[in-house]
Chains A and B, each alone.
Chain A
Amino acid sequence: GAGVSQSPSNKVTEKGKDVELRCDPISGHTALYWYRQSLGQGLEFLIYFQGNSAPDKSGLPSDRFSAERTGGSVSTLTIQRTQQEDSAVYLCASSPLSGTGGSNQPQHFGDGTRLSIL
């Protein structure tokens, strides 16, 4: 597709359940980011993938959160044993290049998954 695609667009689940959110980046983009946006708040960085390098997981709020990126393309963000404070919009972004000397690339965002924990 032409842009970053995220699914599902909305997810409602009960507290304690596990959820998986999916991100399809723009073809050829080597960098992929996950963010969380709570109502009226800025974007909170969660995790970053770049090519075959080890991901930067420094933004993951707890060990209930994990993410993987298979084949350098599609990524899934998994939240285990969801809590009500996990309710937010989860945004994925990709960019064509990332690295020293090439760190000025805009990020291209999907429209997010709105997660609601009951």
Chain B
Amino acid sequence: SQKIEQNSEALNIQEGKTATLTCNYTNYSPAYLQWYRQDPGRGPVFLLLIRENEKEKRKERLKVTFDTTLKQSLFHITASQPADSATYLCALDEPGGYNKLIFGAGTRLAVHP
């Protein structure tokens, strides 16, 4: 079965630097991959979706890459701010003909002033 691996250790970076979070999967390559942000006590919020035939997707300070050979997606936040501090989850679609997602456990990002 599909397993998703995200770094369980928190990522601590200085404000203004680029944060890079990793999502690895072990089995089949998904048709698409999504990234979500989750703040404490809140539900996840959708950020970006990238399809298997796309290498890179950008939205403002966010960039996602998708390498089906490495079975990996990287999520970058440039010019990071303390407000970017949160847990970031990656999610992959599961075959089945509908929008069923498998979520990783997430990586906590802490941006320090």
B94 to chain A, nearest CB (A): 8
> Which residues of B are interface residues toward A (Cβ below 8 A)?
4, 31-32, 34, 41-46, 49, 51, 89, 91, 93, 96-106
> Complex: how many Å from CA A82 to CA B56?
45
Tell whether, in the assembled complex, residue A112 and residue B43 are in contact, meaning their CB atoms are under 8 Å apart. yes
Tell whether, in the assembled complex, residue B97 and residue A99 are in contact, meaning their CB atoms are under 8 Å apart. yes
Q: Nearest A residue to B4 by beta-carbon distance? A: A42
> Complex: how many Å from CA A83 to CA B89?
28
Interface size class of A (residues with CB under 8 A): 20 to 34
The interface residues of chain A lying within 8 Å CB-to-CB of B96 are 56
The interface residues of chain B lying within 8 Å CB-to-CB of A98 are 98-99
> Can you list 18 A-B contacts (CB < 8 A)?
A4-B43, A35-B103, A42-B105, A43-B44, A56-B98, A56-B100, A93-B43, A95-B99, A97-B99, A100-B97, A100-B98, A103-B31, A103-B32, A103-B97, A103-B98, A106-B46, A107-B101, A112-B42
Question: By DSSP majority rule, is chain A's interface helix, strand, loop, or mixed?
Answer: loop
Tell whether, in the assembled complex, residue A104 and residue B32 are in contact, meaning their CB atoms are under 8 Å apart. yes
The interface residues of chain A lying within 8 Å CB-to-CB of B102 are 45
The interface residues of chain A lying within 8 Å CB-to-CB of B100 are 33, 45, 48, 56
Q: Nearest B residue to A102 by beta-carbon distance? A: B99
Query: Quick check: is A76 within 8 A (CB to CB) of the other chain?
Result: no
Q: Nearest B residue to A110 by beta-carbon distance? A: B43
Tell whether, in the assembled complex, residue B51 and residue A104 are in contact, meaning their CB atoms are under 8 Å apart. yes
Question: Which A65-101 residues sit within 8 Å CB-CB of chain B?
Answer: 91, 93, 95, 97-100
A102 to chain B, nearest CB (A): 8
Most central of A45, A93, A97, A106 by chain B CB within 10 Å:
A106
> Complex: how many Å from CA A97 to CA B99?
8
The interface residues of chain B lying within 8 Å CB-to-CB of A105 are 99
The interface residues of chain A lying within 8 Å CB-to-CB of B106 are 42
> Complex: how many Å from CA A107 to CA B70?
26
A31 to chain B, nearest CB (A): 6
Query: Quick check: is A34 within 8 A (CB to CB) of the other chain?
Result: no
The interface residues of chain B lying within 8 Å CB-to-CB of A43 are 44, 89, 91, 103
